[in-house]
A and B are shown apart, each in its own frame.
Chain A
Amino acid sequence: MTRASRPAGLASEVLVAADAVSLGYGRTIVVRDVSLHIRPGTATGIAGESGSGKSTLAKALVGDLTPMAGRVTVNGRSWSDVHRRDPERRRVQMIFQDPYSALNPRMTARQAISETLTVVCGVPRAEAGQRAGELLTRAGLSGAAIDARPHRLSGGQRQRVVIARAIACEPDLLIADEPTSSLDVSIQAQILDLLVDLREERGLALVLVSHDLAVLRHMTDTCLIMRDGNVVERGPTERVLSQPQHEYTRTLVAAHQGEETSVGSHHGAEEDT
């Protein structure tokens, strides 16, 4: 039993919801009419290839992007009504794909976390340094690394700092956008294990965006498959990946397993995206 879940009593509560949301930049529409509910303690996956809109959807879920149509709500309130310093902000946090870009290059790990603790969680400055150290240790960072700047840390260590920062103020939901794509296989396993542990410990909900179906299968209960801005299939991860119903899902699954696809003839290769 590897996945945490909250007791059924709280299942009716919705943390973040997207209602018929369309997203885009300028005149380009990247996500079309997508609806989605995230409940406490659940782990939801969003799968798709490049250009599918999954990262854009993640941005909207965390409140960083205003929808062109529809709305995204957090605990019933639309994100556009939630201001920068609103405490609601803390409840949804994000983990990024490139851990180096996600850290201020001039701050040590401890400094970065301390700042979050004092500014966002209201921890007194005197205590912040120590609490930061504890959080970082919990995230698996060893002694000397805690006071090191990002350029001295490995990819896995940086990602741990990013995770520590994201959980510092006890969020309810963690949105992870390809958190392990740029990491070595053995480090990826460490980070995924860490996420699983933290979820169990704190009852966190998780939205995991990934192109890697195996990771999704391992980490999530339900998932959505996206293609060109649309959700083509959704359901329990196990079912979607072992008995895919939509043709695109089937191709995706087959691609990951290395079996012969149904369109394996000479010029029948799938349209290169």
Chain B
Amino acid sequence: MSTEALAYEQASRHYAGVVAVDCVSLAIARGSFVALVGASGSGKSTLLRLANRLDRPDRGRVLVDGTDVAQADPIQLRRGIGYVFQNIGLFPHLSVAENIGIIPRLAGREPVDVGAALDRVGLDRALADRLPAQLSGGQQQRVGIARALAGEGKLLLMDEPFGALDPITRATLGQTVRTLHDELRLTTIMVTHDMAEALLLADRVVVMRAGKIVADATPHALVAGEAGPEADALVAIPREQARKLTDLGS
């Protein structure tokens, strides 16, 4: 049995002749925080969705904890994997507490401790009875994260989780996720198009272009320019911004 939490073996996915994921092989070790970076349409979201079978590969295999997801019951598989996405997708007719408790409820398990779940993502317990529409965007995504973690899966998939949020909320929420990742010993894969965010939060950055992995390195190696020209081009932007900010201050 493999020790990888998630592994892709020559996985490919086409949509009507367009290649979204092109023969990708990637192994993600248990406990790592991986950022999937790339431009829009580079296939990073599709790659993520192959993991909990929201999408299926045309060729190749996807393994979660060493098991081919094609053999798994997709319903059970999804309940065991946290999934957070840009549009949040809270159930508008359910309260915050009901949203957070949905996976245990679906699975017929013990109800979650909503108070503790709210504490974990830094929300006031008084919000438990509110409807999602009564919360700010950042609060809503914190509920989305709490809902994803309530399934008690060790794998957390995040598809541009902070894409719709303002920069300050983004930064604090990023920190919250990193802290949770460490405390709960999660394996986290986060899709983002923001290289700075990837560099600051992840242990490992995987760069995709046109369905293929073009770079795969630690943030340190990326910043040092050791990850190849594709990655350098992406790192150049936040580096340039940082330089300009420093210049402004001097």
B partners with A: no
Chain A positions within 8 Å of B, measured between CB atoms, are none
